[in-house]
Amino acid sequence: MIITRLTLKNFGVYAGINTFEFANNKPVVLIGGMNGRGKTTFLEAVLLALYGANSFAYNESKYHTYGQYIKAFVNKADGSLETFVELEFKLEEDTKERYLVHREWSGAGQRTRERITVFKDGEINPFLTDNWSMFMENILPSGLSNFFFFDGEKIAELAVENTNTQMKESIKTLLGISVLDVLSNDIARIVNKITKQTGDQIKTKELELLKEKKTQADVVLQVLDDTIAELTLKTEKLRKKLEKTRSEYTAKGGDIIAQRQDLFNQRNLLSLKIDQGKEQMINLAAGELPLLLVKKYLEKLQAQAQREHESKIMVAAVDKVNSVFSDYLAYQKEDMTQVRGFIDYLEEKAEKDSIEIIFDISDMSLYQLNALLETGFLKVKGQALQAMADCRNGQAKVDEIDSYLSVDIDEKALTKLYKKMKTIEQEIVDLEISIANERKKRTALHGDAIRATSEYNHFVEQYLSELELNDDSDRIMKYSHFVTRILDEYKVRLQERKIGVLAQTMTSCYKNLANKKNLIDQIRMDAVTLDFEYLSTDGNVVPKESLSAGEKQLMVISLLWALAICSKKKLPVIIDTPLSRMDSNHRISLITTYFPQASDQTIILSTDSEIDGRYYDIMKENVGDEFTLVYNDDMKCSTIQKGYFVGELHDN
């Protein structure tokens, strides 16, 4: 994937319409800006355009819903409250096929909903518009996107901290192990649910407490307010959970199932048109079309036949004149010397201009040959080219539909997700009903005693319903623990098979970047914990504590580089604040080695203190596009300027 353009309208710190155009003539793109000028916003805009609600930037944000998240980006400078992000890219560097995804929304109103439109080669593509998240999951799964689009400051934090759970989860996603964790978590939830059903002392104590306090009106009122707040919070969390589940359902091809029959019908119609085109080609081939191969010979034949035709006409004309002249002499006795001289001239000219008759084709055949060369070939050639184009375009559309139909859709997983969505929807409905009931109860109940009794009776009913135990609980518990042990063992064996290549690639990447070439000779990964071990040339373990903060960050970047290589995906790399906590030597390693080789397109978002004049001069030969984010203090917004801190780097 190569990004060719990013356009933002009223997005974050970017007021009005701002466009980044990428020529992609060199691998590195440099975007400079001081803190708060829109560098991180650029990264979030790319993630938002590609993934929407599946963006890890949204998942890591503080917002409960996707609508709140995108509404926070609306720039209100022009008063329109209309915002969009538009990203154009091509999948291969040398292809002309381009994709453009356009997401727009309005900041007006309480609820914010986006509208997405996808274009392919300049035309709206309804299928991609409806199935964009699934299409992106095939190109770059959202779970792997943080290997290619990352914040250098967060990488620095991961490198310094001993805990690196986030990175382990990403590695599991790449290795295809995370699905086992999901299964283990599902089993654990079942066990926890059964455990709660078989004996909940907390509920019993709470029931007694409510019974004792049912006469205390003020306490019951407070409990009721807390209950309403808790239910509201649960509803918000469930809405976010439902939104993510729907995105996952769509990304895995849920929506395409309903479209399969339409796609099959489209394919059948296209196949019929292709067959008709082929039949037309056969008919043309059975007629005049093959004669195009000998057109130049037919033109020579035409010229010869035309000369033969004219020669025969001349001979016939002389014979006719002689015949008429003989008849004329029988009636006229005057001197006919001049007429006789003219006839002799005609005979001499006819004899001089006569040619050998080779083809002797008829007048009708000559007429047909002239018509074929003048208009026939042009017509039949046009028909052939049109039929070939129809077949080719039809086959391209059939291939596109086949690629959609060939998507590996796990119907069991989709069924599970669908049931999960319906369950969550029902839970939301139940919660909304509960909230409405609680609010109605709060205004309807007038006496402290009545209020307390209603709350007590409601809780008793709920508690008694939870005491209905499943007769098969013991059997479920037994087999759940058995399956959990099998999954744990299988996960370790699966990890053992897959981590070898990753560790070797990471070792190679680190050696290319590190200054202390002899410090670490090999990197190994533990198959169980996925923790790294660093070995020296003599085979001894190098303690992590002995590495500097910069070296640790370099290790994490080596891991990201290795993961990107192992994924075998040619995708752009976007790095925000890339040189955090790096010393000068490590910065030079990244600038000269990693940035040019990380991808066919590496977009660097940097301040003037990270990539200053010295480092800019070092990396300039690999830099193609350059931009600077210029902030307007009066307008409180950023605009895009060509060039990287023009006139400022060396002045400082």
Q: Check residue 162 and give its pLDDT.
A: 44
DSSP 3-state assignment of 547?
coil
Q: Has residue 400 been placed in a domain?
A: no
Range from 136-150, 282-296, 380-394 carrying the lowest mean pLDDT: 136-150
Going by C-alpha positions, the residue among 113, 126, 142, 122 that lies closest to residue 46 is 142
Q: Write down the mean pLDDT value for the chain.
A: 79
Tell me the percentage of the chain whose pLDDT exceeds 90.
15
- Taking residues 492-507, report their average pLDDT: 78
Q: Has residue 401 been placed in a domain?
A: no
Q: Check residue 584 and give its pLDDT.
A: 73
Same-domain status, 137 and 5? yes
Same-domain status, 8 and 135? yes
Q: Check residue 7 and give its pLDDT.
A: 95
Same-domain status, 241 and 312? no
Token pair belonging to 12: 């974050």
Pairing of strands 522-525, 532-535: antiparallel
- Taking residues 320-341, report their average pLDDT: 69
> Over 70: is that where the pLDDT of 481 sits?
no
Token pair belonging to 614: 């010295």
Q: Which CATH number do you get for residue 582?
A: 3.40.50.300
Q: How far apart are CA 72 and CA 111, in angstroms?
A: 12
Q: Check residue 452 and give its pLDDT.
A: 59
Say how many residues make up the chain.
652
Q: How far apart are CA 397 and CA 390, in angstroms?
A: 11
Same-domain status, 5 and 139? yes
Higher pLDDT, 226 or 611: 611
Residue 20's pLDDT band (cuts 50, 70, 90) = very high
Same-domain status, 59 and 127? yes
Q: Has residue 264 been placed in a domain?
A: no
Q: How far apart are CA 286 and CA 434, in angstroms?
A: 78
Q: Count Cβ atoms below 10 Å from residue 517 Cβ, excluding itself.
A: 11
- Taking residues 134-152, report their average pLDDT: 78
DSSP 3-state assignment of 521?
coil
DSSP, residue by residue, 386-433: HHHHHHHHHHHHHHHHHHHHTS---HHHHHHHHHHHHHHHHHHHHHHH
Residue 467's pLDDT band (cuts 50, 70, 90) = very low
Q: How far apart are CA 130 and CA 255, in angstroms?
A: 8
Going by C-alpha positions, the residue among 41, 233, 155 that lies closest to residue 640 is 41
Higher pLDDT, 123 or 203: 123
Cα 512 off chain centre by: 31
Beta-bridge partners for 74:
11
Same-domain status, 295 and 362? yes
Q: Has residue 576 been placed in a domain?
A: yes
* Burial label, 71 (beta-carbon count in 10 A; 0-12, 13-18, 19+): buried
Q: Check residue 25 and give its pLDDT.
A: 82
Tell me the percentage of the chain whose pLDDT exceeds 70.
76
pLDDT tens-digit map of 65-107: 898 999 999 998 888 899 999 999 998 766 778 999 999 999 8
Q: Has residue 100 been placed in a domain?
A: yes
Q: Has residue 609 been placed in a domain?
A: yes
Domain range for 54: 1-148+571-652
Residue type, position 3, single letter: I
Higher pLDDT, 72 or 138: 72
Same-domain status, 465 and 496? no
Residue 472's pLDDT band (cuts 50, 70, 90) = low
- Number of folded domains in the chain? 4
Q: Check residue 323 and give its pLDDT.
A: 72
Residue 349's pLDDT band (cuts 50, 70, 90) = confident
Please tell me the pTM assigned to this model.
0.58
> Over 80: is that where the pLDDT of 532 sits?
no
Residue 28 per-residue DSSP state: E
Beta-bridge partners for 102:
86, 117
Q: Has residue 171 been placed in a domain?
A: yes
Residue with tokens 């190679």: 508
Asked if 98 and 121 count as a contact pair (C-beta separation under 8 A), the reply is yes
pLDDT tens-digit map of 545-597: 677 767 777 887 888 888 777 777 778 888 887 776 677 777 888 888 888 88
> Over 80: is that where the pLDDT of 421 sits?
yes
Same-domain status, 23 and 50? yes
Same-domain status, 486 and 423? no
For the chain, the straight-line distance linking the first and the last C-alpha, in angstroms and rounded, comes to: 37
Q: How far apart are CA 261 and CA 281, in angstroms?
A: 30
Token pair belonging to 478: 């037994």
Q: Check residue 446 and give its pLDDT.
A: 42
Residue 528's pLDDT band (cuts 50, 70, 90) = low
Question: Based on C-alpha coordinates, what's the Rg of the chain?
Answer: 40
Going by C-alpha positions, the residue among 290, 292, 281 that lies closest to residue 384 is 281
Range from 110-114, 222-226, 376-380 carrying the lowest mean pLDDT: 222-226
DSSP 3-state assignment of 541?
strand
Domain boundary among 533, 568, 603: 568
Residue 169's pLDDT band (cuts 50, 70, 90) = low
Long-range contacts of 407-412 (CB under 8 A, 24+ apart): 407/134, 407/138, 407/253, 407/256, 409/252, 409/253, 409/256, 409/257, 410/252, 411/257
Asked if 625 and 22 count as a contact pair (C-beta separation under 8 A), the reply is yes
Residue 374 per-residue DSSP state: I
- Taking residues 129-155, report their average pLDDT: 79
Domain boundary among 469, 484, 510: 469
pLDDT tens-digit map of 222-242: 666 678 778 888 888 888 888
| Of 91-100, 219-228, 418-427, 508-517, highest mean pLDDT | 418-427
Q: Check residue 460 and give its pLDDT.
A: 52
- Taking residues 641-647, report their average pLDDT: 85
> Over 80: is that where the pLDDT of 343 sits?
no
Asked if 159 and 555 count as a contact pair (C-beta separation under 8 A), the reply is yes
pLDDT tens-digit map of 248-294: 887 777 767 667 778 888 888 999 999 998 998 898 888 888 888 88
Q: How far apart are CA 567 and CA 147, in angstroms?
A: 10
Residue 36 per-residue DSSP state: T
Q: Has residue 262 been placed in a domain?
A: no
Same-domain status, 144 and 178? no
Beta-bridge partners for 604:
30, 575
Beta-bridge partners for 17:
9
Domain boundary among 568, 594, 610: 568
Token pair belonging to 320: 């006719």
> Over 70: is that where the pLDDT of 5 sits?
yes
Give the residue ranges of DSSP H helices in 567-612.
Answer: 584-589, 595-597
> Over 80: is that where the pLDDT of 399 sits?
yes
All residues at 6 or more sequence positions from 416 whose CB lies less than 8 Å from its CB, including other chains? none
> Over 50: is that where the pLDDT of 470 sits?
no
> Over 50: is that where the pLDDT of 10 sits?
yes
Same-domain status, 112 and 66? yes
Same-domain status, 9 and 133? yes
> Over 90: is that where the pLDDT of 135 sits?
no
Beta-bridge partners for 631:
638
